[in-house]
Structure 1
Amino acid sequence: MSKGNRDRKAAQARRIVEQQKAADKRRKVTIWTTVAVFAVLIVAGGIGWGVLANQDKKTEASQVTTPSVAVDEGTAFAVGSGPVTVDLYEDFMCPICNEFEQQTGSTIDKMVTDKRITVRYHPVAILDEASNGTKYSTRSAGAAAAAAQDGKFTEYHKVLYANQPEEGSDGLTDAKLIELGKSVGLGTTFEAAVNDKTYDNWATKVTETFASRGYNGTPTIVVNGKQVEGPNNTLPTTAVFEQAVQAAEG
């Protein structure tokens, strides 16, 4: 091969190498540009999602209908006028809540009658997933709120526990919740609130407040700000509850 041919071949090889290098450089620039754009989109998307999420929260908050009779930041219904405050967080599908109601409910009623305690009932919904997608905990809490708004919370509270469905079942239908309401004297306003799910978002708000206060199980019984439990975090007996009230009375 002549020197001229060798020079041409070498020059051609250098051009190919340079072209490859240039192509590699362009690919790298394109890749990093794409990554940068993607990152910007992610950030922008994140900001957008955050804004939308906040908007959704604001929308949800604006859609919460709080019963005018609710107390404690709109999360509970007060029964009684005694000096000792008893906060009772309960889920109407919770069998242990019903156990506490059957065990200690009459004692609580007497303490209310004797003007020793004020009970603040907080209907929460932590067992929605235990009703096969019907959200019974939320629906029953919303129905209880409707009953409270119409002045029949205590009566409805008792009839709900007397007809408590099994955990893991579909729960009671809205029609049954309305039927139970009628059995204690509730009327068309209550029926409309249950059908329209007027207070269902409120039940969610109460549950969120319950969690934000550090509680995670029902029933949670609190006497003058102190949680009352039996040994090893068990359900307190009536005697233990009475002792807690007596201690609060001083």
Structure 2
Amino acid sequence: MSESREAARERARELRAEHRKRDRRRRFGITVGVIGGILVAGLVITLVFITSARPATRGPQNMQSDGLKIGEGFTAVRTPALAIGDSPVASEPNPSDVVDIQIYYDYLCPNCGAFEERNGDQLREWIENNAATVEYHPIAVFTAKSAGTQYSLRAANAVACVAELSPDQFFAYHEALFADQPEENTPGYDDDELLAIAKAAGVEHLGNVEKCIDTQRFRVWVNEATQRALAGPIPGTEVASIASTPTIIVNGEEFKYTTAFDPNEFAQFVARAAGQSFSDNPTPTPTPTTTATPAP
């Protein structure tokens, strides 16, 4: 698990270096190709219009809640797909000794990257120790902030493809996408790179995943899930709607972070939530500790 994760991170870093070289060439091309840029912009607008007219489609399998729940052993909880026109269904409650954490992410969101960088290790530890499950909800609110490539939407579609076709590798893929996260207002990873990162993360059924990414199989679902999150309510929680990313919900209650995603602050909030769950239904519990890695 750790070896494949490190390989995925290294591959992500290599891809980012390649991206930087392409970005320099792209900036040069822009300075001498204003007319071409206008034509490309017109093409993007046309494609957005065409793809926005796509018919409604079901959601990805294992994401009936509009998210994928990862538990002990980094395995995904299997669920049916969300049918066309249906509302998301809250995941089954955890045992009282396992904390329920839900996170709404955009894969281009800088704050999401900061949270992942500072809290990812303890999230991984809690999952590994069966102290918590983490349910990942990919949404696309930064779609217009990737130089016309719609990276947020494409990345959310890619993780939805993995959720359906290789769900037990979802966690590794999620980590790899944040290992060297593209910066806001850059093109982000292209589809070939999204697939290469999936391969390095150990994702299975790559042929089907490639087709799913190339055709943007879950594009419509991503847009619909994003709108559902923004409009609310969030099923099974006390949260009315998603106002920003990341939004972190612990045992139904939103974590109102006040510092720069301090892992100790987050661990203390999770421990309090675990303690409340224990008092409501006392059983022996492997609650998360508050001895998290200090923020840099």
Would you call these one fold, judging by a TM-score over 0.5? Answer: yes
Q: Which has the higher helix share?
A: 1
1:130 matched to 2:155? The reply is: no
Deviation beyond 2 Å, 4+ runs, structure 1? 62-65
- Contact 1:229–1:236 (CA<8 Å) still a contact in 2? no
1:193 matched to 2:212? The reply is: yes
**Pick aligned residue for 2:254 from 217, 227, 234:** 227
Distance, in Å, in 2 between the alignment partners of 1:118 and 1:172 is 28
Q: Which residue of 1 aligns with 2:23?
A: none
Deviation at 1:133, TM superposition (A): 1.8
Deviation at 1:138, TM superposition (A): 0.5
Q: Which residue of 1 aligns with 2:131?
A: 116
Q: How does 1:157-236 map to 2 (within 5 A)?
A: 157-186=174-203, 187-213=206-232, 214-231=241-258, 234-236=259-261
Q: Which amino acid aligns with 1:198?
A: R
1:63 matched to 2:56? The reply is: yes
Q: How does 1:133-148 map to 2 (within 5 A)?
A: 133-148=148-163
Gaps of 5+ in 1: 1-58
Q: Which residue of 2 aligns with 1:17?
A: none
* 2:144 counterpart SS class: helix
Q: Which amino acid aligns with 1:206?
A: A
**Pick aligned residue for 2:99 from 62, 72, 84:** 84
Q: Which residue of 2 aligns with 1:18?
A: none
Distance, in Å, in 2 between the alignment partners of 1:173 and 1:185 is 19
- Contact 2:114–2:261 (CA<8 Å) still a contact in 1? no
Deviation at 1:235, TM superposition (A): 4.4
Larger radius of gyration: 1
Distance, in Å, in 2 between the alignment partners of 1:119 and 1:188 is 28
Q: How many residues align?
A: 187
Deviation at 1:65, TM superposition (A): 3.1
Distance, in Å, in 2 between the alignment partners of 1:99 and 1:165 is 12
Distance, in Å, in 2 between the alignment partners of 1:224 and 1:134 is 36
- Contact 2:101–2:249 (CA<8 Å) still a contact in 1? yes
Gaps of 5+ in 2: 1-52, 73-93, 233-240, 276-296
TM-score, normalised by the number of residues in structure 1: 0.70
Distance, in Å, in 1 between the alignment partners of 2:198 and 2:242 is 29
Deviations 1:38-88 (A, max 9, x none): xxxxxxxxxxxxxxxxxxxxx86x62231111142xx00101156321110
Distance, in Å, in 1 between the alignment partners of 2:182 and 2:271 is 34
Deviation at 1:236, TM superposition (A): 3.5
Q: Which residue of 2 aligns with 1:100?
A: 115
CA RMSD of aligned residues (A): 1.7
